[in-house]
Amino acid sequence: MTPTFPAAVVFDNDGLLLDTEEAWTRAETTLFANHGSTFTYDHKRELIGSSHSIAAGKLEVMLEQPGRGEDLMNELHALVMDEAQHDIEPRPGALELVDALRDAGIPIAVASNSQRAFLDLVLHTAGVADRFAITVAGDEVPRPKPWPDIYLEACARLDADPARSFGLEDSPTGATAAKAAGLTVIGVPYLADIELPMADITATALNDAAVFEAIGLVLSPE
């Protein structure tokens, strides 16, 4: 019996495909220190998955600098671009799933809220850029996540029906975007205490048997 595969599988990047969150945390810690504050876990939990513009608004409040959100976000972007030149690795199970999808001939893409310069840099740093012919960045669509635009654009570039495609996400913001675009959402939370109510399936890692089964793949025995 021939397996029924999805039209496409679209990966979020930060915290889902690649462990860029450590780079973001280092940059955020420096930013807060530069402005006389301390970066905490609660700050991280609030910022994770946020687009550039939404994060700018949050930083204004966190650092008590109303009206300076864009300046703070630009400063953070410069810091994280430096951090992203080293110590960026794929998340657990990421390469196993990506390679299984490629071997099965299932179209794949990356849909990230990060800006194009950062997305290209971290894909290159992690050594996975050649695995993805299609990538969509947050500054290339009218509205970033939690709106559906990024996922709709990724599916359009893959010539894939969103209703027959899967979106892989680690944050509520991203899961909301993928669901709004009509994709089936597989959630793999980056932070263990973050709930993803919009996810159709939740797993602990990308090479979880439940992920492979949902997509129609068979997890190879170790």
Residue 1 in this model has a pLDDT that exceeds 60: no
Q: What is the CATH number of the domain that holds 137?
A: 3.40.50.1000
Instruction: Tell me what pLDDT residue 51 has.
Output: 84
Which tens digit of pLDDT belongs to each residue from 72-83?
A: 999 999 999 999
2 is a domain residue: no
Same domain, 102 and 29: no
**Total domains, the chain:** 2
Residue 29 in this model has a pLDDT that exceeds 50: yes
Choose one of 53, 83, 113: the last residue of a domain: 83
| Contacts for 90 with CB less than 8 Å, ≥ 6 apart | 17, 18, 19, 126, 128
Same domain, 202 and 122: yes
pLDDT band at 222, cuts 50/70/90?
Answer: low
220 is a domain residue: no
Provide the residue range defining the domain that includes 54: 21-83
Choose one of 83, 115, 134: the last residue of a domain: 83
Same domain, 105 and 208: yes
Nearest alpha-carbon partner for 174 in 35, 72, 49: 49
26 is a domain residue: yes
Same domain, 65 and 119: no
pTM of the shown model: 0.89
Same domain, 71 and 106: no
Same domain, 78 and 126: no
Instruction: Tell me what pLDDT residue 3 has.
Output: 61
Instruction: Tell me what pLDDT residue 78 has.
Output: 95
Question: Residues of the chain with pLDDT > 70: what percent?
Answer: 97
Residue 216 in this model has a pLDDT that exceeds 70: yes
Cβ 126 vs Cβ 89: under 8 Å: yes
65 is a domain residue: yes
Choose one of 61, 83, 105: the last residue of a domain: 83
Same domain, 117 and 168: yes
Which tens digit of pLDDT belongs to each residue from 132-172?
A: 999 999 999 999 999 999 999 999 999 999 999 999 999 99
pLDDT band at 108, cuts 50/70/90?
Answer: very high
